Structure 1
């Protein structure tokens, strides 16, 4: 099974206006409650995706074999960007994109 990192925007707009810290707390709790996810998923606050009006924004990315999931990456690009994530959407993303390794086509965008 693949390892994943979930980046939750913590920039000024997502962090303050959209209260993205609630998503971080919720996702971390979801990962901690599932032994299968706990072994292969990390939730990290990310500086900013630059899509402030779309927030809160989340990016799910696979981790390379030796990559540390608790560290913020230098560069983020490719598929896996989810704009406008609600608490309900966050849990579906965790279950489907990470748990089942199936991105949610109707929500996900390239970044």
Structure 2
């Protein structure tokens, strides 16, 4: 089963204005409570996606076998960007994209 890193923007706009820390708290609690996700999903802060007015923003990406999930990558790209994430959306994204490996088509964008 693939491992995933969930990056939550922690830039000034997402972090302060859009309170992205509540998404981090929610995701970490859900992952800790689910044995299936606990060994495969990691939440990390990401400096900024550059789409501040749409925040809070998240990005879900697969991890390489030797990659550490707690470490912020230098850059990201591909299908996995989620703008304007609510707590309800974060739960669905965790279950479907990170849990099942299927991006949530109605919300996900190419980044």
TM-score, normalization by structure 2: 0.99
Task: State whether structure 2 residue 25 is matched by structure 1 residue 41.
Answer: no
Task: State whether structure 2 residue 53 is matched by structure 1 residue 53.
Answer: yes
C-alpha deviations, 1:24-70, integer Å up to 9, x for none?
00000010000110000100111000000110000000000100001
Question: Gaps spanning 5+ residues in structure 2: where?
Answer: none
Task: State whether structure 2 residue 75 is matched by structure 1 residue 72.
Answer: no
Q: Distance in 2 between matches of 1:78 and 1:94?
A: 17
Structure 2 residue aligned with 1:62: 62
Question: Gaps spanning 5+ residues in structure 1: where?
Answer: none
TM-score, normalization by structure 1: 0.99
Q: Distance in 1 between matches of 2:94 and 2:75?
A: 22
CA RMSD of aligned residues (A): 0.4
Number of aligned pairs? 111
Q: Distance in 1 between matches of 2:55 and 2:84?
A: 5
Structure 1 residue aligned with 2:97: 97
Runs of 4 or more consecutive aligned structure 1 residues displaced over 2 Å after TM superposition:
none
